[in-house]
Amino acid sequence: MNYQNEIITILHQPLQNKLSAEQIENLIETPKHTHMGDVALPCFELSKIERKNPAQIALELAPQLNTENTIISQVEAAGPYVNFFLDKSQFATQLLKTIITEGQQYGTQSYGAGKTITMDVSHPNIAKPFSMGHLRSTVIGNAIGNLLEKTGYNVERLNYLGDWGTQFGKLIAAYKLWGDEEKVRANPIQELLNLYVYFHEKAEEDSSLDQLGRDWFKKLEQGDEEATKLWKWFREESLEAFQTIYDLLHVSFDSYKGESSFHAQSDQIIEMLDQKGLLEESDGAQVVRLDDLNMPPALIKKSDGTTLYTTRDLAAAIYRKETYQHAESLYVVGNEQSLHFNQVRAVLHKLGYDWSDEITHIAFGMMLKDGKKMSTRKGKVVFLEEALEKAIQYAKENVEEKNPDLAQKDEVARKIGVGAVIFHDLKNDRRNDIEFSYDEMLRFDGDTAPYLQYTYARAKSILRKAGATSTSYQFHEADWNYAWPIIQKLASFPEVIQQAVYYYDPSKMAKYLLKLAQHFNSYYANVRILEESPYQPSRLALVESVSVVIKEGLSLLGIEAPEEM
């Protein structure tokens, strides 16, 4: 329910020869003071078109507007503005009935129905622990996927594992030189990380080690039995460790096809590029020149004959289009890969694939530690599992202190701790860098998930104490100062979903929920909700509606809402 849409329709009837519905939507605004109405149309733009005084236009336009059988109670001209006053009681009644009747389906839309979108998300590198850096792709991608599904799209979530490339040649070389099988089997991911970091430390002293790593990767690409056996072992151990993280985050995928799945197609890509006359030699390597697009060449095959992830990404992109027939192919990958995806798009276009413009890079900033980029090879990294466990433990201590008799404390602590970590990421514009901070992440007041979860639990507690809700929605005038901002926020929930989808930006939903919770907590502090009166049923209806929207909004972000805290 969007009263602004109704006002746009009312205005468009007399203005359709002068302004489009979209132009009217961009012009209307919310007045600063309530005595000036709920929505206003400034007439300055019309003044330019009609070459008349804007105040005169407002005077002439107001009587022409047909508001019969609408939620508009009054229209008036005030200087250069046409002001609209809503029948708040009627609007609130309709809205709350809709939310309570539809429940978690409120806000669901169908404009994406019949269309498939593929999402390349998470994609951690095997044989390395899941770092906080990989959290960003995982939770941003999961939230965008949820929002797309809410608007009707079929979403295919693809975990394109980083399981191929020179780094695995280096890891195999490190294991062959210094590895201890018993140690690796006892603690695979940590030991493999130690070997990887040690290799890079030694390579700074002995440059021949880098060549040894490249040689082992070439063996892997050529199907060498020993290299393949070690690589498969590293991959299996990694997937098992990753699954622990995904289970905690309640995230799942439709495919785990990693880079290695497209290694075999690399030769076909190279042949296609060659047949089209696109391949050129550069210092012994094979490249596709993109000078006409003001981009550096796309490196397709290195001078030692091994392929690069650009080659595999081209093969994966073609496979995804042929397999899923997507309307759009999203890649939730860091800002630093922008050039890479521009090159992939450009090469696909040169190969004659018109659907290359369906590829969209959903870029995001870095997770910083002490203002610097995290680096696995330098050993400067925060592990996600460690952060989640610490957050859950902190939440458990908080629950023990504030509500020691709470049932299922461990499960509630898990929801709070994991939610805190996810929301710390999603409340920020995805394009910005984020400073990793336990203190900021685990605060239980302010702009945090625990604050939203506690608001939801408070609403559910009120409803339990009341025992039942009612179908009466007649608000008392004294309530409007605190109730109306909530009503306006609840009404805009479907629009916020659209905006978050349009910009691929979950922070729009996160910020919306924080504002809704602030309005509700102000209402709770100033209105005696449980006091017996003729207005109690409408107050409870408002509380129930808030609980529905907060729970669904958090769910879209991939965060669970405990009934009690």
25: amino acid identity, one letter: E
Give the C-alpha distances (Å, rounded to integers) separating 500 from 68, 147, 345, 496, 507. Answer: 34, 7, 25, 6, 8
Which pLDDT value is given to residue 469?
57
Give the C-alpha distances (Å, rounded to integers) separating 391 from 15, 245, 395, 418, 471. Answer: 56, 14, 6, 7, 41
Q: Flag residues of the chain having pLDDT under 70.
A: 1, 374-381, 468-474, 476-478
The string of pLDDT tens digits covering residues 464-520 is 999 865 556 667 666 888 999 999 999 999 999 999 999 999 999 999 999 999 999
The string of pLDDT tens digits covering residues 389-423 is 999 999 999 899 989 999 999 999 999 999 999 99
What's this model's pTM, rounded to 2 decimal places?
0.90
Q: Residue 55 and residue 8: Cα distance in Å, rounded? A: 20
| Cβ atoms < 10 Å from Cβ of 408 | 12
Residue pair 559/419 in contact by the 8 Å Cβ criterion? yes
Beta strands in 45-180 (DSSP E): 72-78, 81-86, 116-120, 154-158
Could you give all domains of the chain from N- to C-terminal order, each with its CATH number? 3-86 (3.30.1360.70), 384-556 (1.10.730.10)
Which pLDDT value is given to residue 129?
81
Which pLDDT value is given to residue 435?
87
Which pLDDT value is given to residue 472?
66
